Structure 1
Amino acid sequence: MEMAGADPLVGHVLDGRYVVGSRVARGGMATVYAGHDTKLDRAVALKVMHANLAGDEDFVRRFADEARHAAALSHPNVVAMYDQGTDQGRVFLVMEYVAGRTLRDLLTERGRLGPRAALRIMRPILAALGAAHRVGLVHRDVKPENVLLAADGQVKVTDFGLARAETASRHTKTGILIGTVAYLAPEQVLTGDADARTDVYAAGIMLFELLTGYQPYQAGTPLAVAYRHVNETVPPPSSVIPGLPPQLDALVAGATDRDPARRPPDADRFHAAAGEVLRSLPPDIDAISASAVPVPPGPPPAAGGTQAPPPERVTQNLHVHPGASSSGRDGTARTPSSHTMVIPDHEGPPRKWRRRPRTYGLFAAAVVVALLLGGFAWFQTAERTARVPQLVGLSEADARLRAERLGLKVKAGSFRQDPSVPKDKVAQVEPGAGTQVRTGTLLTLTLSSGRPPVAVPDVRNQPLDQAEQRLRQAGLQPGRRLRQDSATVPRGDVITTRPAAGKKQNPDEPVTIVVSRGMTMPDLSGLTPDQAARKLAALGLNPQWRQQAPDGGRQPNTVVGQDPPAGRPVNRGDDVQVTITDQRQCEWGPFCSYDDGQDDGDW
Structure 2
Amino acid sequence: MLKSLFNWRVLLNLILAAGVFVGLIYLTFRWLEIHTHHGDEIQVPNVVNRSVHDAVKILDDSGLEYEVDSFKYDPKYRPFQVLQIYPAPGSRVKNGRSVTLKVNPRNWAPVSVPDVINKYSGLGFQRLDQVGLKVGDTIYEPSIQKDAILRILFKGNSIKPGTKIPRFSIIDVVIGSGPMRNIGIPNVVGLTVKEAKALIARNLFEVGIVDYEDGGSNENDIVYYQDPASGDVRDQGMQIDLWASKKTPAELMNKINELNSMYRMKIDTTLPPVRYEEVPNFPDPVPVDPVPVTPPKRDVPKNDPPKQNSAPAKSSTDKPKATTTTKPADKPKAKQVIN
The TM-score with structure 1 as length reference comes to 0.20
Which has the higher Rg, Structure 1 or Structure 2? 2
More helix by share: 1
